[in-house]
């Protein structure tokens, strides 16, 4: 029996709400030479019955059932271990692959043997499938790798990679409960060249991924550890204060109160790394300027001004004086308003 060109791997737990749409989006692909491995992670809803019904009529579907709930990471590795395709494609149980997704990705990887893993753009949709926005991702390796230093920019359901390469890397890191896709993208970027197609090839469902605050915190903790590893690997043993980087990373991800006075200048090795990366200034210069503006607006004047200076001195960004002035006005306006009110109050008494 001939082996398929592509193995599509899905892991699902209690996914009956969107599972049929997700399965049909793969079965209706214009590229048909694939096997579809679906790992049911001990679901308690109608998930196994849905998959079995499809498997009766389409022999490309291979259902695997976990005897107990193992979680996404281990379930994906179970699917990878039995896959036979030249390429591995990921598909989540609540996302939709557009009809030409596999065809376009297979043709690209066939034509670009230097590329080991491939992503694509996505359309974010709500629980009813209505479009919210389209997300474009960088398409070249240097841009993608620079972005992955600090933040994941690629979507799991867009992944297509070479199975032999994934086998060498050992699949997903089973120590990670969350952010396993970020970790995999990063490890792939260190071992091979990445790319992404500019076309939107997947509909990524947003509302179904709503998680509790505790889970969100755990997810961010995992993402930070991956980012720290990525930065340290690129620094080649140059000193990085882990605690300072942790405060900076969390501040960049919305917890500005984490940042302490002097942290920006203590991250000199990080600024050197980004400045010397082929795409570091292009990716992070504008983003760090926006972050600097947020710091000013939060009243962290010294840190915001220092970060603006870093983007100009090391990341070759023109100083955004209008942005700086706007941020300073935002920071000082409450104090100015209070001073005016106090002055008006004293004037009335006089």
> What CATH number does the domain containing 51 carry?
3.90.550.10
* pLDDT on residue 79: 97
What is the overall mean pLDDT for the chain? 90
Question: Same structural domain for residues 36 and 142?
Answer: yes
Give the residue-averaged pLDDT of 307-311. 93
95 plus 204 within the same structural domain? yes
| Percent with pLDDT over 90 in the chain | 74
Q: Confidence class of residue 349 from pLDDT cuts 50, 70 and 90?
A: low
**Are 176 and 253 members of one domain?**
no
180 and 259 in a single domain? The answer is: no
- Domain assignment present for residue 280? The answer is yes
Query: What pLDDT is stored for residue 339 in this prediction?
Result: 47
pLDDT of residue 340: 47
Is the four-CA dihedral 282, 232, 80, 129 of positive or negative sign? negative
| Any domain includes 227 | no
| Least confident window among 144-153, 170-179, 225-234, 332-341 | 332-341
- For 263, phi then psi, to 5°, come to -65, -40
- Give dist(CA 52, CA 246) in Å, integer: 46
Residue 341: the pLDDT is 58
**CA–CA separation, 219 vs 231, rounded Å?**
19
Find the angle CA(65)-CA(18)-CA(93) to the nearest 5 degrees: 45
pLDDT, residue 345, reads 56
147 and 292 co-located in one domain: no
Measured CA to CA, the distance from residue 149 to residue 269 in angstroms comes to: 13
Task: Tell me the torsion sign for CA atoms 38, 42, 46, 52.
Answer: positive
Q: Report how many helices (DSSP H) and strands (DSSP E) the chain contains, helices first.
A: 13, 9
Reduced to 3 states (helix: H, G, I; strand: E, B; else coil), residue 125 is strand
Contact in structure between 56 and 127 (CB atoms under 8 Å): no
| pTM to 2 decimal places | 0.89
Residue 213 has pLDDT above 80, yes or no: no
Interval 160-188 mean pLDDT: 95
Per-residue pLDDT band at 77 (split at 50, 70, 90) = very high
Rounded-to-integer distance, Cα 309 and Cα 307, Å: 5
Local confidence band at 46 (pLDDT 50, 70, 90 cut-offs): very high
Rg (C-alpha) for the chain, rounded Å, is: 24
Residues counted in the chain: 350
Does residue 219 lie in a domain region? no
Q: Is 341 part of a structural domain of the chain?
A: no
Would 342 be classed as within a structural domain?
Answer: no
Question: Is the pLDDT assigned to residue 121 strictly greater than 50?
Answer: yes
Are residues 49 and 177 both part of a single domain?
yes
pLDDT band of residue 11 (cuts 50, 70, 90) is very high
Q: Decide if pLDDT at 347 tops 60.
A: no
Looking at residue 52, its pLDDT comes to 96
- pLDDT at 214 > cutoff 90: no
Q: Is 349 inside a domain boundary?
A: no
Structural domain total, the chain = 2
Q: Is residue 215 included in any domain, yes or no?
A: no
What is the per-residue pLDDT for 325? 78
Domain membership flag for residue 72: yes
Cβ proximity of 137 and 211 under 8 Å: no
- Beta carbons of 307 and 261 less than 8 angstroms apart: no
Would the pLDDT of 210 be above 70? no
Rounded average pLDDT over 34-53: 96
The H or E element spanning position 166 is: helix 163-169
Residue 302 belongs to what domain range?
A: 238-334
Task: Please name the residues in contact with 71: beta carbons below 8 A apart, sequence gap of 6 or more.
Answer: 41, 177
Residues in CB range of 239: below 8 A, 6 or more apart: 269
The percentage of the chain sitting over the pLDDT mark of 70, rounded to a whole number, equals 91
Question: 90 - beta bridge partners?
Answer: 9
The pLDDT of 103-128, averaged and rounded, is: 96
Please compute the mean of the pLDDT values over residues 226-232 and round it to a whole number. Answer: 95
* pLDDT at residue 78 greater than cutoff 80: yes
Confidence of residue 113 (pLDDT cuts 50, 70, 90): very high
- pLDDT tens digit string along 123-171? 999 888 888 899 989 999 999 999 999 999 999 999 999 999 999 999 9
pLDDT of residue 204: 93
């Amino acid at each position: 029996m001939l082996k398929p060109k592509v193995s599509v791997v899905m892991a699902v737990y209690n996914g009956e709400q969107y599972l049929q749409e997700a399965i049909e989006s793969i079965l209706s692909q214009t590229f048909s030479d694939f096997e579809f491995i679906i790992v049911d992670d001990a679901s308690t809803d109608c998930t196994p019955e849905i998959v079995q019904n499809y498997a009766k009529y389409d022999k490309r579907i291979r259902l695997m059932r976990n005897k107990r709930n193992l979680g996404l990471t281990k379930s994906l590795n179970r699917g990878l271990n039995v896959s036979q395709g030249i390429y591995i494609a990921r598909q989540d149980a609540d996302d939709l692959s557009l009809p030409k997704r596999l065809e376009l990705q297979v043709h690209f990887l066939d034509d670009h043997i230097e590329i080991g893993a491939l992503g694509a753009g996505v359309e974010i949709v709500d629980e009813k499938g209505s479009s919210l926005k389209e997300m474009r991702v960088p398409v070249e390796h240097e841009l993608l790798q620079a972005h992955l230093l600090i933040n994941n920019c690629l979507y799991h359901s867009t992944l297509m990679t070479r199975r032999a390469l994934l086998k060498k890397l050992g699949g997903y890191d089973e120590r990670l409960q969350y952010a396993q896709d970020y970790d995999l993208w990063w490890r792939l970027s260190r071992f091979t060249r990445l790319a992404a197609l500019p076309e939107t090839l997947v509909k990524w469902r947003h509302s179904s991924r709503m998680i509790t605050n505790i889970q969100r915190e755990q997810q961010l903790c995992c993402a930070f550890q991956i980012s720290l590893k990525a930065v340290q690997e690129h620094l080649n043993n140059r000193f990085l204060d882990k605690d300072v980087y942790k405060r900076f990373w969390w501040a960049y991800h919305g917890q500005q109160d984490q940042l302490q006075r002097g942290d920006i200048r203590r991250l000199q090795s990080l600024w050197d790394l980004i400045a010397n990366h082929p795409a570091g200034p292009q990716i992070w210069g504008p983003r760090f300027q926006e972050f600097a503006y947020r710091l000013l607006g939060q009243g962290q004047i010294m840190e915001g001004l220092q970060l603006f200076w870093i983007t100009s001195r090391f990341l070759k960004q023109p100083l955004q004086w209008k942005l700086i002035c706007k941020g300073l006005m935002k920071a000082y306006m409450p104090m100015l308003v209070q001073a005016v009110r106090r002055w008006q109050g004293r004037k009335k008494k006089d």
